[in-house]
A and B are shown apart, each in its own frame.
Chain A
Amino acid sequence: MRINSINRRLLLKSGAVMGAGLAMPTIFTGRARAQDFCNNPTGSSVVLGFNVPQTGPYADEGADELRAYQLAVQHLNGEGDGGMLGTFKGSVLKGNGVLGKKVEFVTGDTQTKADAARASAKRMIERDGAIMVTGGSSSAVAVAVQALCQDTGIIFMSGLTHSNDTTGKDKKRNGFRHFFNAYMSGVAIAPVLGEAYGTDRKAYHLTADYTWGWTQEESIKNATEALGWSTVTAVRTPLGEADYSQYLTPVLNSGADVLILNHYGKDMINSLTQAVQFGLRDKQVDGRNFEIVVPLFSELMAQGAGDAIKGIYGTANWDWKLDNDGSKAFTKSFGQAYGQPPSQAAHTCYVQALLYANAVETAGTFDPAGVVEALEDFEFDGLGNGPTLYRAADHQCFKPVLVVQGKEEPTDKFDLLEVVKEVPAEEVTYDPAIFGGELGPVSTAC
């Protein structure tokens, strides 16, 4: 009995030692030996990581982003009607996957929180072997995941992120943004506001308290003050706040005659509907109508806000009603697949997936170094926004910006926004130096 137990113990011990010994070389060298850059796909398929908010204040956008990514994967693999693959000028994609490999995907929930987003991106990179991560509908998330991807040698194609920081002070060589930013919104919307409301208004800002809110507040403030407006005050509100009443009551007697809501997603739906409940749109200040401006909004938010959105000015990256071949093709395949038109979040994510695939195809490799080279200063057309440039200096896309307004008489629940102006790309282009930041070198190693 005693001998038996010693034997068992010995067996276990030696087994453990042997196991550890066998595992050792693979722990230290396994990944490095098999590939010269992180997650180099060796099989017949390649995995993309779609990291979108499925819960939290931006969950609506996230759900639509995921729909778009799934459509993009189908189109890249040659399934469905091909969508914008047929209108994409500058494309070398063949509809047989990417570099002949079938595109597969994994998804993660960012929860609209930077730490959760990093954790799910890390899981997709380390466990699922994602070669590229894309998505996010919050600039705080985009900046955090972009930095993670830079550290792990993965390409990051950001989804809906509008902060100046994403391609400004926090820009990274491995990160790319197709969506426009707060600076462009300010430049585009200011002349329209001046024309509609005059040049001597007093603005009151309510701002979501994180990177996107701060940069949008700054950009809109600069643009409207250049117009002759003054800023009464700018109040920060926590992200994900549900009841804005204590922030809205001080607006009533502040002397301001314009309320600017630097909120997005559910935050904007709540703050705008509550502002309307507080009678702000029926209010008169010195004989003029009180106005509300939402510098960045989307069709999805308009649906959530209902009647409150009517007549409100804002800016958008894209709208499904735009009259060009790319937009029509995308709206058609998205509408047929899901029974509703795509949002601007869906559009930018679909485009980012195609642009990444095309860059890989052009470079002939999944190596981030080659992909970055192919995307920098890449000029393309037919993806819904007209001629577009991926600027090498900051990895920001330059294309026309839309100024939109909530429709007074919508014909159905999808026809809520009207494009009042298309501001050409030249007018919203800026010197990359104004926001600082360094792209740094491309990173490829895990």
Chain B
Amino acid sequence: MDQIVLQLLNGLDKGGAYALIALGLTLVFGTLGVVNFAHGALFMLGAFCAVVVYQVLQIETVTIDPDRLTPWGSPMEIRTPLVQAWLGDFGGLLLEWAVPLSILVAIPVMLAIGLVMERGLIRHFYRRSHAEQILVTFGLAIVLQELVKAYFGANPIPVSAPAALTGSADVGAWLGLGSGVIYPWWRLTYLAFSVAIIAAVMLFLRFTTWGMVVRAGMEDRQTVGFLGIDIERRFTVVFGIATVIAGVAGVMYTPIVPPSYSMGMDFLVLSFVVVVVGGMGSVGGAVLAGFLLGILQSFAAMNEVKSIVPGIDQVIIYLIAVVVLLTRPRGLLGRRGVMER
């Protein structure tokens, strides 16, 4: 029982991450009709926002102490962190909560990147074929990736979660189960964060007039345009929102896996599968598929399952994608007419 709960929790945790990234991808596809292969790179850029904030807060002054020597005989360097020297305990607190704080930095930065990207590049590809859109956005992803690699290097950069959230929670005790169900605090935080963001986006689309117009535009762009609404402009904002979601998802992911330039590509393939399984352009479908694939992947990694089907943990996601596409070619919640023109 403990094991089932644990794998379920792990699946929800993974699923939350998948759904969060797939959400932006499917939103952009649903509105602009663009398959954005640079979405993973946006996730990576968000993660590097956290890295930058973390590094800025850690800027040090280096003084040389000629009286003390290193084991290899050169004078010892004394490093003093500047922020802590200026702000004292408050500086230490800032550094400790650097990751959540980075969200405040990431939102304007990612919004700006998103708007520049849409106005400067993506806009010119609305009327072009999907193949061309994929090529140009994939190219952009490689450019962004190499820029980050040139500046930050190829190695992952560890970023730590606040000390208060580094341990693990005794989930078993909350649920009245045994002591075997423990789960890291930060991963639980990430799960709560992704659920909150997904809920906010869905509620925004469902219950605001602005969201209603966007949904109407997704259904029939031309008619909404005839009604005198500048739908293009709203779609630009939607692209900005999708960029911000990918960015903050990246920020919050940094304490789980140290960010490196290639992390976006790892997630791109997965999130694309999630979008296809969920149904191209369907927000609800992406969320459903994200959690479904996360949970199945987690259960497939159980030794009991792997002893029956060896290697299933590596292929389960793609296997599900094949099955879903064979039985429901439009995905779980896909609509007629999307990508079928």
| A59-B155, A233-B303, A277-B166 known; A249+B72 contact, CB < 8 A | no
Partner of A55, one of B7, B154, B256, B266: B154
- A364: CB under 8 A from chain B? no
Tally of A-B Cβ pairs under 8 angstroms? 107
Residues from chain A with Cβ under 8 Å of B71 in the complex: 320-321, 331, 335, 341
Distance in angstroms from B177 CB to nearest chain A CB is 11
- The 8 A CB mask of A243-274 against B (1 = contact, 0 = none) is 10111011011100000000000100110011
Which residues from 163 to 191 on chain B have a C-beta closer than 8 Å to any C-beta of chain A?
Answer: 166-168, 180-184, 186-187
- The 8 A CB mask of A45-83 against B (1 = contact, 0 = none) is 000000000111001100100000000000000000000
Are the CB atoms of B6 and A249 closer together than 8 Å?
yes
Distance in angstroms from B263 CB to nearest chain A CB is 7
In the bound complex, what is the Cα–Cα distance between A380 and B182 (angstroms)?
53
CB nearest neighbor in B for A415: B71
Distance in angstroms from B79 CB to nearest chain A CB is 10
User: How many residues on chain A are close to B (CB under 8 Å)?
Assistant: 41
* CB-defined A-B contacts under 8 Å, sample of 28: A54-B154, A59-B154, A60-B155, A233-B303, A238-B314, A242-B263, A243-B14, A245-B187, A246-B301, A249-B9, A249-B10, A250-B303, A252-B180, A252-B181, A253-B180, A266-B156, A266-B258, A274-B256, A277-B168, A277-B186, A278-B168, A278-B182, A279-B167, A279-B184, A282-B167, A306-B160, A331-B71, A339-B74
Are the CB atoms of B7 and A335 closer together than 8 Å?
no
- A304: CB under 8 A from chain B? yes
Residues from chain B with Cβ under 8 Å of A336 in the complex: 72-74
Are the CB atoms of A279 and B303 closer together than 8 Å?
no
Distance in angstroms from B127 CB to nearest chain A CB is 37
Are the CB atoms of A242 and B266 closer together than 8 Å?
yes
- A156: CB under 8 A from chain B? no
Residues from chain A with Cβ under 8 Å of B263 in the complex: 242
Residues from chain A with Cβ under 8 Å of B258 in the complex: 266, 269-270, 304
Are the CB atoms of B257 and A250 closer together than 8 Å?
no
In the bound complex, what is the Cα–Cα distance between A332 and B3 (angstroms)?
52
Are the CB atoms of A246 and B10 closer together than 8 Å?
yes
- B302: CB under 8 A from chain A? yes
- A18: CB under 8 A from chain B? no
- The 8 A CB mask of A296-324 against B (1 = contact, 0 = none) is 00000000101000000000000011000
Most-contacted residue by chain A among B7, B70, B266 (CB, 10 A): B70
- The 8 A CB mask of B147-159 against A (1 = contact, 0 = none) is 0010000111010
- The 8 A CB mask of A274-286 against B (1 = contact, 0 = none) is 1001110011000
CB nearest neighbor in A for B169: A279
- B60: CB under 8 A from chain A? no
Q: With A266-B155, A331-B71, A336-B72 given, name 9 new contacts (CB 8 A).
A: A246-B14, A249-B6, A249-B7, A277-B187, A278-B183, A279-B168, A282-B168, A335-B73, A339-B74
- B219: CB under 8 A from chain A? no
Are the CB atoms of A279 and B2 closer together than 8 Å?
no
In the bound complex, what is the Cα–Cα distance between A331 and B258 (angstroms)?
29
In the bound complex, what is the Cα–Cα distance between A233 and B158 (angstroms)?
30
- A334: CB under 8 A from chain B? yes
Most-contacted residue by chain B among A59, A233, A252 (CB, 10 A): A252
In the bound complex, what is the Cα–Cα distance between A334 and B7 (angstroms)?
47
- B297: CB under 8 A from chain A? yes
Partner of A279, one of B13, B77, B182: B182
Distance in angstroms from A66 CB to nearest chain B CB is 13
Chain A positions near chain B (C-beta within 8 angstroms):
54-56, 59-60, 63, 233, 235, 238, 242-243, 245-247, 249-250, 252-254, 266, 269-270, 273-274, 277-279, 282-283, 304, 306, 320-321, 331-336, 339, 341
In the bound complex, what is the Cα–Cα distance between A252 and B262 (angstroms)?
30
Partner of A341, one of B72, B167, B180: B72
Are the CB atoms of A246 and B168 closer together than 8 Å?
no
Distance in angstroms from B251 CB to nearest chain A CB is 16
In the bound complex, what is the Cα–Cα distance between A116 and B330 (angstroms)?
38
- B118: CB under 8 A from chain A? no
Residues from chain B with Cβ under 8 Å of A306 in the complex: 158, 160
Distance in angstroms from B98 CB to nearest chain A CB is 15
In the bound complex, what is the Cα–Cα distance between A69 and B300 (angstroms)?
44
Distance in angstroms from A205 CB to nearest chain B CB is 12
In the bound complex, what is the Cα–Cα distance between A233 and B146 (angstroms)?
40
Partner of A252, one of B6, B155, B298: B6
Are the CB atoms of B73 and A278 closer together than 8 Å?
no
In the bound complex, what is the Cα–Cα distance between A312 and B182 (angstroms)?
22
Distance in angstroms from B291 CB to nearest chain A CB is 15
In the bound complex, what is the Cα–Cα distance between A331 and B74 (angstroms)?
11
In the bound complex, what is the Cα–Cα distance between A254 and B303 (angstroms)?
10
In the bound complex, what is the Cα–Cα distance between A331 and B183 (angstroms)?
42
Residues from chain A with Cβ under 8 Å of B155 in the complex: 59-60, 63, 266
Residues from chain A with Cβ under 8 Å of B183 in the complex: 278
CB nearest neighbor in B for A55: B154
Are the CB atoms of B70 and A304 closer together than 8 Å?
no
Residues from chain B with Cβ under 8 Å of A304 in the complex: 156, 158, 258
| A252-B182, A331-B72 known; A246+B167 contact, CB < 8 A | no
In the bound complex, what is the Cα–Cα distance between A247 and B302 (angstroms)?
8
- B232: CB under 8 A from chain A? no
Partner of B3, one of A238, A253, A333: A253
| A59-B155, A253-B3, A336-B72 known; A243+B256 contact, CB < 8 A | yes
Residues from chain B with Cβ under 8 Å of A249 in the complex: 3, 6-7, 9-10, 298
Residues from chain B with Cβ under 8 Å of A269 in the complex: 156, 158, 258
Are the CB atoms of B303 and A335 closer together than 8 Å?
no
In the bound complex, what is the Cα–Cα distance between A283 and B14 (angstroms)?
24
In the bound complex, what is the Cα–Cα distance between A238 and B285 (angstroms)?
29
- B96: CB under 8 A from chain A? no
Partner of A334, one of B10, B72, B168, B298: B72
In the bound complex, what is the Cα–Cα distance between A212 and B3 (angstroms)?
30
Are the CB atoms of B301 and A250 closer together than 8 Å?
yes
